[in-house]
């Protein structure tokens, strides 16, 4: 019997992270969860290795991936759902806001990819999925720093694909518009939430992208905008 593919889910403490961990575990992956908050991962399945590490810290990320490789096995899949959000027009954006958006929405994608790539290269295969957003593909007013950080993530995804595809590693991204989470339900009006997509639905798209069924798909930014 072949050994289960190891899948790392970074940002596992949030709603989309939880849904992705559950979806991949149900599909037979050996899942390892990474989040900066150990408490946020406390209700994940006991079969999931939980590693507390700040995804924005490159050294912490490298240590987390090395621990996963040693305890569970070399990662063959990386799903990065780490992200944060901020409203604000371009002319009012502060250095602190821009730095935060880039540190959280862009940095972890690079550090995580750097950490898993050697393991995948050694295996001769791998699949990486990052989570961008519609404003990263289509300019949107009123969320300048966020949009720019997600657009940078889109470009990084495509660059990583060009660099890693020759090693058998596929890199793609999913771009939701609005995810139906408890936080969004508490802060957004009902008419806006009517178009939100369930985390489980996004997790299903992610699971497809890391599956053998998506073997021909590489360098894609897949819209998941909902109705």
Percent of the chain with pLDDT over 70: 99
Pairwise CA distance, residues 2 & 106, whole Å: 35
Sign of torsion over alpha carbons 24, 25, 26, 27: positive
pLDDT tens digits along 99-122: 999 999 999 999 999 999 999 999
Pairwise CA distance, residues 150 & 131, whole Å: 9
Top pLDDT among 191 and 203 is at: 203
Question: In CATH, which superfamily holds the domain spanning 6-224?
Answer: NAD(P)-binding Rossmann-like Domain (3.40.50.720)
Number of residues assigned to the chain: 227
pLDDT tens digits along 124-170: 999 999 999 999 999 999 999 999 999 999 999 999 999 999 999 99
How many whole angstroms from its chain centre is CA 6?
15
Q: What is the mean pLDDT of residues 74-82?
A: 98
pLDDT tens digits along 53-67: 999 999 999 999 999
Known catalytic residue at 225: no
pLDDT-derived band at 223, boundaries 50, 70, 90: very high
Pairwise CA distance, residues 198 & 217, whole Å: 23
Query: Which pair of structure tokens corresponds to residue 46?
Result: 């006991």
| Active-site hit among 144, 146, 149, 224 | 146
Looking at residue 2, what is its pLDDT? 54
Q: Mean pLDDT score of the chain, rounded to an integer?
A: 96
Looking at residue 184, what is its pLDDT? 86
Evaluate if residue 39 carries a pLDDT over 90: yes
Looking at residue 186, what is its pLDDT? 86
pTM: 0.96
């Amino acid at each position: 019997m072949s050994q289960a593919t190891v899948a790392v889910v970074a940002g596992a403490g949030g709603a989309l992270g939880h849904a992705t961990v559950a979806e991949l575990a149900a599909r037979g992956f050996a899942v390892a969860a990474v989040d900066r908050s150990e408490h946020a991962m406390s209700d994940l399945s006991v079969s999931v290795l939980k590693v507390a590490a700040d995804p924005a810290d490159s050294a912490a990320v490298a240590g987390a991936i090395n621990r996963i490789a040693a305890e569970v096995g070399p990662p063959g899949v990386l799903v990065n759902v780490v992200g944060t959000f901020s409203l604000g027009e371009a002319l009012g954006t502060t250095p602190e806001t821009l730095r935060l958006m880039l540190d959280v929405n862009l940095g972890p994608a690079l550090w995580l990819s750097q950490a898993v790539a050697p393991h995948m290269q050694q295996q001769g295969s791998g699949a990486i999925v990052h989570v961008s957003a519609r404003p990263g593909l289509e300019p949107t007013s009123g969320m300048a720093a966020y949009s720019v950080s997600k657009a940078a993530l889109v470009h990084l995804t495509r660059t990583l694909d060009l660099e890693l595809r020759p090693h058998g590693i596929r890199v793609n991204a999913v771009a939701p518009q609005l995810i139906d989470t408890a936080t969004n339900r508490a802060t957004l009006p009902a008419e806006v939430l009517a178009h939100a997509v369930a985390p489980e639905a996004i997790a299903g798209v992610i699971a497809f992208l890391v599956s053998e069924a998506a073997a021909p798909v590489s360098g894609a930014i897949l819209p998941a905008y909902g109705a």
